[in-house]
């Protein structure tokens, strides 16, 4: 396996050389481990594949997970899985097209942009180096040809674009904007839709070659089922071979399937993701799904970005706490937003922060957020509340 520097994509010659190499990867000619730009992320732990890792075939790409729940795991993706993912994505989008790379290519979402372009022979452009801004996006989009055009973003990036007229105009020129990595609040999606931006919400992870459920519907060849009523299992040709050095990991106990740690609801063929099982907040014996609360609060004008966490509480076990980046919290709007949720969903604590902690490409860092909330709780009293959470 060879470590490959993917950080030089802004240089046209280096980008073309990388795309050519990725074509060989898709043909199964070699195994690569994409390396992050120096200083942008922790250096990955060197991986040595043994006979057990190769039992299901030689992987084409080995990518680390985000490590949100512990030590990162090394995901082994086969060339067949990567090709299946690209083909299913283009089928859902209405055909292959050019791609704008606006995400780090050492993460699965960014790498897939390059792989889709490489596999279909389509061009790829790159946003300006440095921090992601509306101007860097507009400049990068201007380098893409006039045929079908796609881009993958995370909600934090989209939020920076929807308030800029030139960026919105550039967004409208894309046939589809794939939005994933974290939940997007309704107000943000409404702003984008009102501006004429075409959005496709994606759900997936490194273990499924990135997004494999688009707008709640699984890609062709992928099936979704719920274990124990809520835990999501994904099955199909896009599923990884497993984790390097962990041949008995229960997440891959069934060949061709990946048992996620996410909870969801299926209504017909439509999947709604409620969040990670280990993110659930238990307050007074009642379970609060943070993603459901965040989605509701996202409709409150002026609240900005929202993240819900639980912090230790002597009386209730955990106190629901909402971190938000906006300066305004109109009480009437909060009540209206929470009116469809059980009373125990209402946060006991509110914490305004300049920005939400993130990890990887725009993913919320709930551990860091919970630590911020715990420190703040030592100095601030909780919001007045009834003697017992309302379970209605």
273: nearest Cα among 144, 180, 160: 180
Q: Is 100 helix (H, G, I), strand (E, B) or coil?
A: strand
Distances (CA, A) of 122 to 90, 92, 147, 282: 12, 17, 10, 48
- The Cα 279–Cα 317 span in angstroms is 14
Distances (CA, A) of 7 to 1, 53, 101: 18, 27, 12
pTM (2 decimals)? 0.83
* CATH 3.30.300.30 domain extents, the chain: 280-377
Residue 330 has what pLDDT? 87
- The Cα 189–Cα 233 span in angstroms is 27
234: nearest Cα among 280, 203, 276: 203
Residue 44 has what pLDDT? 62
Phi, psi dihedral angles at 126 (to 5 degrees): -135, 140
Q: Is 213 helix (H, G, I), strand (E, B) or coil?
A: strand
DSSP 157-210: HHHHHTT-HHHHHHHHTSSEEEE-SS---HHHHHHHHHTT--EEEEEEEGGGTE
CATH 2.60.40.10 fits 79-274, yes or no: no
Under CATH, domain 280-377 is a member of which superfamily?
A: ANL, C-terminal domain (3.30.300.30)
Helices 12-26 and 79-93: crossing angle in degrees, nearest 10, is 110
Residue 382 has what pLDDT? 54
pLDDT in tens, the chain (392 residues): 788 888 778 888 888 899 999 999 999 999 999 888 766 666 666 678 888 888 888 999 999 887 655 678 999 999 999 999 999 999 999 999 999 999 999 999 999 999 999 999 999 999 988 889 999 999 999 999 879 999 999 998 999 999 999 999 999 999 999 999 888 888 899 999 999 999 999 999 999 999 999 999 999 999 999 998 899 999 999 999 999 999 999 999 999 999 999 999 999 999 999 888 888 999 988 989 998 999 999 989 989 899 999 999 888 899 999 999 998 788 999 999 999 999 999 999 999 999 999 887 778 899 999 999 999 887 765 554 433 333 33
Residue 387 has what pLDDT? 34
* CATH 3.40.50.12780 domain extents, the chain: 79-274
């Amino acid at each position: 396996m060879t470590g490959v520097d993917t950080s030089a994509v802004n240089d046209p010659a280096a980008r073309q050389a990388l795309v050519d190499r990725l074509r060989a990867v898709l043909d199964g000619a070699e195994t690569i481990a994409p390396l992050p730009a120096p200083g942008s992320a922790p250096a990955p732990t060197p991986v040595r594949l043994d006979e057990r890792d190769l039992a299901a075939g030689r992987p084409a790409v080995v990518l680390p997970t985000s490590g949100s729940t512990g030590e990162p795991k090394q995901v082994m993706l086969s060339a067949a899985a990567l090709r299946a993912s690209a083909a299913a994505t283009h089928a859902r989008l209405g055909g292959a097209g050019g791609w704008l790379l606006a995400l780090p290519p050492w993460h699965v979402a960014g790498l897939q942009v390059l792989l889709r372009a490489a596999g279909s022979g389509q061009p790829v452009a790159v946003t300006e180096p440095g921090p992601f801004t509306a101007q860097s996006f507009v400049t990068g989009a201007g380098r893409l040809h006039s045929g079908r055009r796609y881009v993958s973003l995370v909600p934090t990036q989209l939020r920076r674009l929807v308030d800029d007229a030139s960026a919105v105009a550039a967004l409208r020129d894309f046939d589809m904007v794939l939005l994933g990595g974290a939940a997007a609040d309704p107000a943000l999606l409404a702003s984008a839709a009102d501006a004429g931006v075409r959005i496709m919400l994606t759900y997936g992870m490194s273990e499924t070659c990135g997004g494999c459920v688009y707008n709640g519907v699984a890609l062709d060849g992928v099936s979704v089922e719920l274990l124990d009523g809520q835990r999501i299992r994904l099955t199909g040709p896009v599923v990884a071979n497993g984790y390097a050095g962990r041949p008995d990991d229960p997440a891959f106990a069934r060949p061709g399937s990946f048992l996620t740690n996410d909870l969801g609801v299926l209504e017909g063929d439509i999947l709604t993701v409620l969040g990670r099982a280990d993110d659930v907040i238990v307050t007074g014996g009642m379970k609060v799904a943070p993603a459901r609360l965040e989605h509701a609060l996202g409709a409150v004008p002026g609240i900005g970005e929202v993240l819900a966490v639980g912090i230790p509480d002597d009386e209730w076990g955990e106190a629901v706490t909402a971190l938000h980046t906006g300066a305004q919290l109109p009480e009437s709007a909060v009540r209206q937003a929470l009116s469809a949720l059980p009373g125990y969903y209402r946060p006991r604590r509110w914490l305004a922060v300049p920005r939400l902690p993130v990890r990887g490409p725009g993913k919320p860092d709930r551990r860091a957020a919970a630590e911020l909330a715990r420190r703040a709780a030592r100095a601030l009293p909780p919001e007045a509340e009834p003697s017992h959470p309302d379970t209605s």
